[in-house]
Amino acid sequence: MLRTKCIFKEKELEDGLRISIMSRHTLNDGKTPDPRLLEPGVFDRHRVELAPHPKIVGMWYKKRISWEDFTLAYFMKLHEPVESRSVDELVVLARKQDVTVMCVEDTPEHCHRGLLAQRCGMIDPGLEIRHVV
């Protein structure tokens, strides 16, 4: 099963393998390490290649691009060779064990983890996906 969840939500047994798909683990300034994310066990793996490009994230937060443009840019990135292999690996892994992909947003709407889950579901329509809010 593939789950999506805010990285700040409490760790649960159902999470299985916890994967951060954030480009960086910093405060809003983009430079200062976020102490909440430095704690051991917050996540098991960091897959930065599954994060959107930081410039696209910044443009979205500053309302310089629409959600549709953000979505298009992120899906285009997921089709690049390294990212595409990582998505395929994520699908295979989620078929074998519980996996939770995480980032900072509270909900999967207007969040790349929801888009990543959508892409995984396109690759494997039988993959069980749950969004934890």
Tell me how far CA of residue 14 lies from CA of 1, 62, 117, 130, in angstroms.
10, 35, 17, 11
Could you report the per-residue pLDDT of 48-77, keeping only the tens digit for each?
999 999 899 889 888 899 999 999 999 999
Question: Quick check: 60 and 70 in contact, CB under 8 A?
Answer: yes
Could you report the per-residue pLDDT of 82-131, keeping only the tens digit for each?
999 999 999 999 999 999 999 999 998 899 999 999 999 999 999 999 99
Residue 29 has pLDDT above 90, yes or no: no
- Residue 96: per-residue pLDDT: 97
Radius of gyration in angstroms for the set of CA atoms belonging to the chain, rounded to a whole number: 14
Residue 28 has pLDDT above 90, yes or no: no
- Residue 56: per-residue pLDDT: 92
- Residue 5: per-residue pLDDT: 97
| Residues 74-81, mean pLDDT to the nearest whole number | 97
Residue 6 has pLDDT above 90, yes or no: yes
Residue 68 contacts by C-beta under 8 Å, 6 or more apart in sequence?
none
Domain boundaries, the chain: 2-131
Amino acid at 7: I
Question: Quick check: 122 and 132 in contact, CB under 8 A?
Answer: no
